[in-house]
Amino acid sequence: DNFFKDNLVITKETAQKLINKKVKIVGIDSFSPDNEPFEVHKMFFKNEILIVENLVNLEKLNGKRFKCYIFPLKIQDADGAPCRVVGVL
């Protein structure tokens, strides 16, 4: 039960800084950037910022320049989808 309550979150202040910087995609290594009532989700979606959740092996990219490719499954009438995410050094 604590899995969904104890995750690190992006604060509304940090979300606003990312919005101000015109970020287009936010990738995180947890299941969600925020908890209920999902205000950060709403802020990002209102500003057309995509959220990529549950990223793994990020430590292999730490401090290195890389290209990121995101391949979502096409799911009709969905507002989200599983993705294959690839970081190329």
Task: Quote the pLDDT of residue 79.
Answer: 86
Name the pLDDT band for 2 (thresholds 50, 70, 90). Answer: low
Average pLDDT for 7-13: 90
What angle is formed at CA 55 by the lines to CA 50 and CA 60, rounded to 5 degrees? 125
Task: Quote the pLDDT of residue 82.
Answer: 94
Task: With residue 12 as reference, give the H or E element that holds it.
Answer: helix 12-20
Task: Quote the pLDDT of residue 49.
Answer: 97
Domain 2-88 CATH superfamily: Putative cyclase (3.50.30.50)
Task: Quote the pLDDT of residue 1.
Answer: 54
Domain ranges in the chain are: 2-88
Task: Quote the pLDDT of residue 3.
Answer: 60
For 12-60, write each residue's pLDDT tens digit: 999 999 999 999 999 999 889 998 899 999 999 999 999 999 999 999 9
Nearest to 58 by CA among 68, 73, 48: 68
